[in-house]
Amino acid sequence: MARHVVAPVADIPPGGRHVITVGERRIVVFNLGGEFFALSDRCPHQGGSLCQGLLSGHVESPAPGEYVYARRGEMIRCPWHYWEFDIRTGKSWFDPKRVQLRQFQTHVETGAALQEGPYQAETFPVRVEDHYVVVEA
Amino acid sequence: MNVIQPIQVPGKPATATLGLLDVDIHPRPKSLEEFRPFLTDRWWQHMLTWGMRQRHGFTGGSPPFPKAQPLASRRDSWPPNGGTPCSDLDFMRFQLLDNYGHDIGVLNPLQPSGQGDRNNAFSAAMAHAVNEWQLEQWLRKEPRLRGSIVVPYEDPIASAAEIRKRAGDPNFVQVLMMSRTAEPAGNPRYWPIYEAAVEAGLPVAFHAFGYSGWAMTNGGWPSFYIEEVSEHATSCQNQVISLVVEGVLERFPALKIILIECGFAWLPSVAWRLDTHWKHLKSEVPHLKRAPSEQIRQHIWVSTQPMEEPERGQHILDIFDWVGWDRILFASDYPHWDFDDAREAIPGIIPKERRAAIYGGNARALYGL
Amino acid sequence: MLAAARPIDCDVHPWLPGTAALHPYLDPFWRDQVVERGIGSLDTQSWPVLSPKSIRADWRDAKGRGADRVELLRAQSLDRLGTDTAILNCLAGVQIQLNQDMAVAFARAVNDWIRAEWLDRDPRLRASIILPMQNIEAAVAEIERLAPDPRFVQVLVLVMGENPLGKRTHWPIFEACVRHRLPLGVHAGSAYRHPQTSVGWTSWYLEEYAANQQAFQSTLASLITEGAFTKFPELRVVFLESGVSWLPSFLWRLSKTWKGVRFEVPWVDRSPFEIVREQLRLTVQPFDVPTEMVPRLLDQLRGERMLLWASDWPHWQYEGDAALPPGLPEALLPRILRENALETYPRLLQGAMV
């Protein structure tokens, strides 16, 4: 596993997303209120690309006719068959035990720390004073 | 933020050795203007003023049961240059035909097509226009595409005329109807359509959809889109039952029926039910010479999408056995949200030697391509 | 022989000979209305009397009718098959009536006719409470009226009603069912508020009879998606005379859709497969499966606890006394013939005389 520099933090504002390719894998990084989460971009159903999907909330219901809607912007839906995944955990809603997206460790590093290595970066300059999103994959 | 491109991993399914023939693609016009050249002033004005009026109360093409996604389409199928999903030939080539290595794709235009419109005369005008539009905007530009003859099926005489007009044009490979007709599809009033189709050597395809004007179940109107999706299958079942019991398949022994986007795992249980009870009710229907299951086996083809997903994967093999391995036609349903990726959608459990027939062999034989 | 298994027959049909039979059970106003207005029959097109399917030929009387007396049930079915207990589901046309007050009067009278002329005359018999669906409050009242009699073990509605059965307007009925431990029986047949199909009226009876198969699917979709099963986890629903083989493929499709469209019905918190295995039962007469396919269909169904035996007397489903659909595995028979019914109908043993 290696640490990959994804992008400057400023490039992925809250509610935004960014895609990187690591080898054969595509990874999509989301910013939820300042926290970063990285998931496999490929839906386990038929391979739909999640970075193209809809960011939505999660509705639960204690009883028919009642809608408890929360976690707006924290669920990603596959653009194809609409399977719903929790960005924070990668788990599908309908079968959290058996159907999930692979998660990747993500954290934020300063430019200074990155310059000390070892990191793989897309080809953009790393500036000491900026912060960057890093994914381990 | 980087530019998010739809993932594109081109490649024809390895086992599509008889070619990849896709029997269900849904083209749309970029705007209604695309129909203008093919409509008279009168019907153009009519369309602008009154629009499409299906047998429900909603306007502007809105469906009674809102779709899960806008225009029921994959979110990544909206062309980057603008327009609605599958309105841009170049983007459709990129995302579908070139991506999967299609040999042939069959177009089934859905709304706005005027099919099932409350106004039969308008429906007939639209049918002509949509058929011309298919030729002009799609079929003459892209040799891999074939079209369906859209007909104003609630006016069977006008439908027969439209079929006869197009007969012999190799661009069109079938006649298209929606699966919710105002009366069961086997009812004798629709027979002129089957007669004309058989004359022209064309199969008749029933694609899930349409509004019959009746409640969407035989026990009233359901509440939810999820129920409507279930009812595509039940409506189609009713149509199969009608085609068999009314004797359409006896009257037109050369008729071929294709069920598109209706699912198919239910077909054996319909056949069995009819066989079981036909035994007791034969005296009512002496016009049926063959067992219903035999008629179904001989006259009906089904498309793969949406494929039912059993709890145990291998149960789908039972269904393929019972329906007939030679009856099954690959369909993508591009650009809809429940679209099937050609490489992923045929379950791994389907033996390799069967896949080539599903991907293309069966459609070649059926359409004579 | 079935008798050794002490079978419970979950679907037999006493056939109301005509409204004259209801006179003792109608109040004076309705009794006179029926006579003065010439309302002679409650037969419906769901069961045309002379249809070969409605009454097996050797069970008809000289006039072509049948099944209107308990003596016939005994001679033609109970005694012949060695049935231990049978549940009466009367299909008289209460639910097609358009005048709700008349419907309520008929429902009460039919239930009273069943009680007096069937239940009281043979200790092996139990019955479903016929509900006047035209008026939900009255339907609940009818449940309350008859629930104290333990010989009523189920409530009965038709699979093709006016509104999909899962709708919330019906929930007071389900609540009463749960309170009194009465399963909701849904039987083939129509109230004719809609054509037999979503694409219009069928021409031939064979089509109409077949169309029940679609009605059961729509009804189950409604019960699941409207959350009736979720709201009433103790509710048990029994599908009577449905044919059974439609169920696996129906669930495969519904479940697939649900995975993507769950947000529309967020109260459906378990997979439809789970819900159905727990809360749905089906009678196996008819069993629309060729004999050689039965093992594979059962493998797809994965629902050994769901199946209930029935003769479906006097409907023509089998020849002679071959009342068990062929192909059912020996090992399952104790469940199908008796145990599943005892689990489904908790009131069955309550009403036992001995």
- A13-51 tens-digit pLDDT: 999 999 988 888 899 999 999 999 999 999 998 888 899
For residue B191, tell me if it sits in a domain. yes
Query: Rounded distance, CA B128 to CA B115, Å?
Result: 11
- Count of structural domains, chain B: 1
Place of tokens 């009608």: B242
- Exposed, middle or buried by CB within 10 Å (0-12, 13-18, 19+), for B2? middle
Cβ atoms of C10 and C240 closer than 8 Å: yes
pLDDT of residue A117: 66
- Measured between CB atoms, does C300 come within 8 Å of chain B? yes
Query: Rounded distance, CA C6 to CA B252, Å?
Result: 51
Task: Identify the DSSP state of A101.
Answer: P
pLDDT of residue A120: 65
Torsion of CA C164, C169, C171, C174, to 10 degrees: -60
For residue C348, tell me if it sits in a domain. no
Residue of B nearest to A53 (CA): B75
Query: Rounded distance, CA C92 to CA C119, Å?
Result: 17
- Measured between CB atoms, does C213 come within 8 Å of chain B? yes
For residue B5, tell me if it sits in a domain. no
Residue B32's alpha-carbon distances to B80, B82, B84, B193, in angstroms, are: 20, 15, 12, 27
Sign of CA dihedral C262, C266, C268, C269: positive
The first and second tokens of residue C199, run together, are 């694409």
Banded model confidence at residue B165, pLDDT cuts 50, 70, 90: very high
Q: What is the CATH classification number for the domain harbouring A118?
A: 2.102.10.10
Mutate to test the interface with C, among B190, B214, B226 (most CBs of C within 10 A): B226
For residue C133, tell me if it sits in a domain. yes
Cis peptide before B170, with omega less than 30 degrees from 0? no
Segment B59-67 mean pLDDT: 86
> Are the beta carbons of B2 and A79 separated by less than 8 Å?
no
Task: Give the list of residues 6+ apart from residue C276 with CB closer than 8 angstroms, or none.
Answer: C220, C224, C247, C251, C303, C306
Sign of CA dihedral A133, B2, B7, B10: negative
Mutate to test the interface with C, among A54, A56, A61 (most CBs of C within 10 A): A61
Mean per-residue pLDDT of chain A: 89
pTM score, two decimals? 0.95
For residue B9, tell me if it sits in a domain. no
Chain B nearest-CA distance from A116, in A, is 25
Q: What beta strand segments (E) does chain B contain?
A: 21-25, 104-107, 145-150, 172-178, 204-207, 257-260, 300-303, 328-329
Cβ atoms of B54 and B116 closer than 8 Å: yes
For residue B105, tell me if it sits in a domain. yes
Closest CA to C289 of C336, C243, C353: C243
Which candidate from A64, A83, A84 shows the least CB-CB separation from C168? A64
- Measured between CB atoms, does A67 come within 8 Å of chain C? yes
Which candidate from B7, B338, B341 shows the least CB-CB separation from A41? B7
Residues of chain C contacting A56 with CB distance shorter than 8 Å? 263
Residue A130: how many other CB atoms lie within 10 Å: 15
- C64-99 tens-digit pLDDT: 999 999 999 999 999 999 999 999 999 999 999 999
Q: What is the CATH classification number for the domain harbouring B339?
A: 3.20.20.140
- Domain assignment of residue C293, given as a range: 2-343
Instruction: With a threshold of 0.90, tell me whether the complex ipTM lies above it.
Output: yes
- Domain assignment of residue B188, given as a range: 21-367
Mutate to test the interface with B, among C190, C206, C209 (most CBs of B within 10 A): C206
- Count of structural domains, chain A: 1
Task: List all residues of chain C from 245 to 264 with a beta carbon under 8 Å from chain A.
Answer: 258-263
Please, which chains are in contact with B (at least 3 CB pairs closer than 8 A)? A, C
For residue C248, tell me if it sits in a domain. yes
Mean per-residue pLDDT of chain B: 95
Chain C nearest-CA distance from B322, in A, is 10
Query: Rounded distance, CA C277 to CA C256, Å?
Result: 17
Chain B nearest-CA distance from C90, in A, is 20
H runs (alpha helix) in C37-75: 70-73
For residue B275, tell me if it sits in a domain. yes
For residue C298, tell me if it sits in a domain. yes
- A37-86 tens-digit pLDDT: 999 999 998 888 899 899 999 999 999 999 999 999 999 999 888 899 99
- Count of structural domains, chain C: 1
Residue A63's alpha-carbon distances to A60, A67, B217, C10, C273, in angstroms, are: 9, 8, 25, 32, 20
For residue B73, tell me if it sits in a domain. yes
Q: What is the CATH classification number for the domain harbouring C87?
A: 3.20.20.140
Residues of chain A contacting C272 with CB distance shorter than 8 Å? none
Residue B110's alpha-carbon distances to B26, B86, B114, in angstroms, are: 7, 12, 9
- The answer on pLDDT for B1 being more than 60 is no
- Domain assignment of residue A39, given as a range: 3-136
For residue B62, tell me if it sits in a domain. yes
Segment B330-343 mean pLDDT: 89
> Are the beta carbons of A62 and C267 separated by less than 8 Å?
yes
Grouping H, G, I as helix, E, B as strand and the rest as coil, residue C214 is helix
Chain B nearest-CA distance from A50, in A, is 9
Per-residue pLDDT in tens (0 to 9) along chain C, 354 residues:
688 999 999 999 999 999 999 999 999 999 999 999 999 999 999 999 999 999 999 999 999 999 999 999 999 999 999 999 999 999 999 999 999 999 999 999 999 999 999 999 999 999 999 999 999 999 999 999 999 999 999 999 999 999 999 999 999 999 999 999 999 999 999 999 999 999 999 999 999 999 999 999 999 999 999 999 999 999 999 999 999 999 999 999 999 999 889 999 999 989 999 999 999 999 999 999 999 999 999 999 999 999 999 999 999 999 999 999 999 999 999 999 999 999 999 999 876 543
Grouping H, G, I as helix, E, B as strand and the rest as coil, residue B322 is helix
Chain B nearest-CA distance from C56, in A, is 10
Segment B234-245 mean pLDDT: 98
Grouping H, G, I as helix, E, B as strand and the rest as coil, residue C40 is coil
